[in-house]
Amino acid sequence: MDIHKDHLSKNLSQRDQKHLWHPLTQHKLSPQMLAIVKAKGAILYDDAGKEYIDGIASWYTAMYGHCNPYITEKVSRQMQELDQVVFSGFTHEPAIRLSEVLMEILPGNQEKIFFSDNGSTATEIGIKMALQYHHNLGSGRNVMLAFEEGFHGDTFGAMSVSGLSVYNGAFEEHFIKVIRIPVPNGNNNLKVLQQLENLISQYKIAGFIYEPLVQGAAAMKMHDAAGLNEILKMCRENEIICVADEVMTGFGKTGKNFASEFMEVQPDIICLSKALTAGLLPMAITSCSQKIYDAFYSDEISKGLFHGHTYSANPLACTAAIAGIELLASEDIQKNIQDVINSHRDFGNKIVTHPRVKNLRQLGVILAFDLDIKMERYGNLRNRLFTHFMDAGVFLRPLGNTIYILAPFTVNPSELNKIYESIETALELFQ
Ligand SMILES: *Cc1c(COP(=O)(O)O)cnc(C)c1O
């Protein structure tokens, strides 16, 4: 057992390097990982005691603040009652209650929810639902439609429909059939519609998967609600199943509970994860309308959706999700959301005329802009920006030259100001 004493002489970052393989990381080019030992509210604490404001809510999950006592209390109580049980053949109160509270806030046409573990599986299931819907109907449709530059996750179906294929090169020959259209930006709406019309006449399109209004991984790129609505309308008229990937946009971040509420035409299928469980536990949901469910409901077993994950509807994750939705519906959190929206608007107005601020954009609590600096000064810009923010005690994760804020709803004004100040300093430092 001597090897187990090794840890006494090494810090966490050193021990990490021995056996851990991190996500989205080229280890040969990456520095050591920073060890985080504690998180509370909007603050992360590293193993040297330094504090960082979590300006991206740990990938948009911990929207009610880290270790929120309202949520942790409920989950710890659930932990004493029922930890885990098979969800095929069994059911339980947390899953049932979650379905009830979700139905109260989801767009009105949603009727059924299907559980999985993460955002990628949520979209994978959404894609499978759309494809099998048409398979069950015998319509012969087998192509997915997606936006250019979309991101829907890292499993095969999700990778296939993602437009950011820089990292997917090794797998391209195994992808499902996908065609793409640009996002509607307000100026190109008609052109995109015409392109879609052409594609519809050429391909047997089963479903359309899209991130409504904000493409997170494409650097918080935002598009036009009226244009998206027209696309959804054309899809609906042509029996193309609309799959909204609200993994990032869901649960209040856009100022509405779901980004889909900005459009008239509601999706047939909605994918949820990230803030679903308020940053506590991994879980995802793919919801759908009665029409979708009915196409699987049959005397023939093979028409069912034969997809299932061992931890489906884990009672602890369901409990965290219920508590999160209760908070989202509370007056306090709704006020927090408005305060962050107003504060971002003021800050946006302050920096919008700065010569290095380009494409300033805001939807709800999401604020983003592109740093406009000379091309020859780009080298390693993203990493230099990241280091600048971390040194200032602010955890932001710039995407290329895009700087964005997506802090917990509960971030307080002085924390917000610290984020803003670190950005203003960056505007002067990086020219
Ligand atoms: C994060 C994300 C996913 C993937 O979710 P994971 O839990 O990381 O697998 C899918 N779609 C969108 C829009 C996302 O932001």
- As a whole number, the mean pLDDT across the chain is 96
Which atom of ligand 1 sits closest to the CA of residue 211?
Answer: 13
| Residue 16, CA distances (Å) to 1, 33, 245 in order | 19, 8, 33
Q: Are 212 and 235 in contact (CB under 8 A)?
A: no
Tell me the CA–centroid distance for residue 206 and ligand 1, in Å: 22
Task: Determine the pLDDT at residue 9.
Answer: 76
Q: Are 219 and 404 in contact (CB under 8 A)?
A: yes
Architecture of domain 70-329: 3-Layer(aba) Sandwich (3.40)
Alpha helix segments (H runs only) across 254-367:
290-296, 315-329, 331-351
Residue count (the chain): 431
Tell me which residue of 61, 33, 17 sits closest to 275, measured CA to CA. Answer: 61
Q: How far apart are CA 128 and CA 398, in angstroms?
A: 33
Q: List own/partner pairs for 381-386 with CB under 8 A and 24 or more apart.
A: 381/430, 384/430, 385/426, 385/430
Q: Which of 260, 274, 285, 366 to mutate to test the pocket of ligand 1 (most atoms within 8 A of CB)?
A: 274
**In which residue ranges of the chain is CATH 3.90.1150.10 found?**
12-67+331-429
Q: Percentage of residues in the chain with pLDDT exceeding 90? A: 91
Task: Determine the pLDDT at residue 169.
Answer: 80
The mean pLDDT of 289-317, rounded to a whole number, is: 97
Task: Determine the pLDDT at residue 62.
Answer: 98
Q: How far apart are CA 50 and CA 45, in angstroms?
A: 6
Q: Is the CB of 248 under 6 A from ligand 1?
A: yes
Task: Determine the pLDDT at residue 30.
Answer: 86
**In which residue ranges of the chain is CATH 3.40.640.10 found?**
70-329
The mean pLDDT of 402-424, rounded to a whole number, is: 98
12-67+331-429, which class in CATH? alpha beta
The mean pLDDT of 233-252, rounded to a whole number, is: 98
The mean pLDDT of 328-340, rounded to a whole number, is: 98
Does the pLDDT value for residue 379 go beyond 90?
Answer: no
Does the pLDDT value for residue 3 go beyond 60?
Answer: no
Task: Determine the pLDDT at residue 214.
Answer: 98
pLDDT tens, position by position, 92-128: 999 999 999 999 999 999 999 999 999 999 999 999 9
Q: Are 150 and 181 in contact (CB under 8 A)?
A: no
- Which residues are paired to 214 by β-bridges? 222
Tell me the CA–centroid distance for residue 73 and ligand 1, in Å: 27
